[in-house]
Amino acid sequence: MTLNIIMDDQGLNNMERILLVEDNRSLAKLLAKKITAVLPFEVDIAYELKEARLFMRQYSYFIALLDINLPDSPNGEVVDIVLEQHLPVIVLSGNTDKAFRKSMMEKDIIDYVGKGGIEDIDYILTTIDRLSKNREHKVMIVDDSMTFRKQMQRMVKNLFFQVYAVAHGEEALNMLEEHPDIRVVLTDYAMPVMDGLELTKEIRKSFSKDQLSILAISSSQDDETSARFLKNGATDFVKKPFSKEEFSCRLNNAVEALENIDALTNHADRDYLTGLYNRRYFFRSMPHYFSRAIEEGEPFAVVMVNIDDLQTTRDTYGEAIAEQVVIHLSELLRSNVKEGDMVAYFDDEAFCLLLKACPVPIAKQVLERLRSKTEASLLHTDRGEEITLTISIGAVLEHEDSLLESVDQADMMLYEARHKGFNQVVSS
* Co-location of 288 and 235 in the same domain: no
CATH of the domain at 244: 3.40.50.2300
Q: How many domains does the chain have?
A: 3
**Is 0.85 topped by the overall pTM?**
no
264 and 128 inside one domain: no
Give the CATH number, domain containing residue 304: 3.30.70.270
Q: 17 with 45, same domain?
A: yes
At a CB cut-off of 8 Å and minimum separation 6, what does 35 contact? Answer: 18, 20, 41, 43, 124, 125, 128
Indicate whether 421 and 300 sit together in one domain: yes
Choose one of 132, 147, 168: the last residue of a domain: 132
Instruction: Answer yes or no: do 163 and 248 share one domain.
Output: yes
From 56, 48, 43, 63, select the one nearest 110 (Cα to Cα): 63
Buried b (16+ CB within 10 A) or exposed e, 42-54: bbbbbbbbebbbe
Same domain, 192 and 222: yes
Examine the domain organization and report whether 254 and 287 are in the same domain: no
Asked whether residue 72 falls in the same domain as residue 175, the answer is no
Asked if 310 and 259 sit in the same domain, the reply is: no
Half-sphere exposure of 177 (CA within 13 A, CB side): 7
pLDDT in tens, the chain (428 residues): 444 544 444 444 578 999 999 999 999 999 999 999 999 999 999 999 999 999 999 999 999 999 999 999 998 899 999 999 999 999 999 888 889 888 999 999 999 998 877 889 999 999 999 999 999 999 999 999 999 999 999 999 999 999 999 999 999 999 999 999 999 999 999 898 899 999 999 999 999 999 999 999 988 877 789 999 999 999 999 998 888 999 999 999 999 999 998 888 777 888 888 889 998 889 888 988 898 898 888 999 999 999 988 888 888 888 888 888 888 999 999 889 988 899 999 876 789 999 999 999 999 999 999 999 998 988 887 777 888 889 999 999 988 788 999 999 999 999 999 888 889 898 88
379 and 410 both lie in a single domain = yes
Domain boundary (93, 113, 132) is at 132
Of 77, 99, 132, at which residue does a domain stop? 132
Does 102 share its domain with 18? yes
Q: What is the domain range of residue 152?
A: 135-269
Query: Do 110 and 182 sit in the same domain of this protein?
Result: no
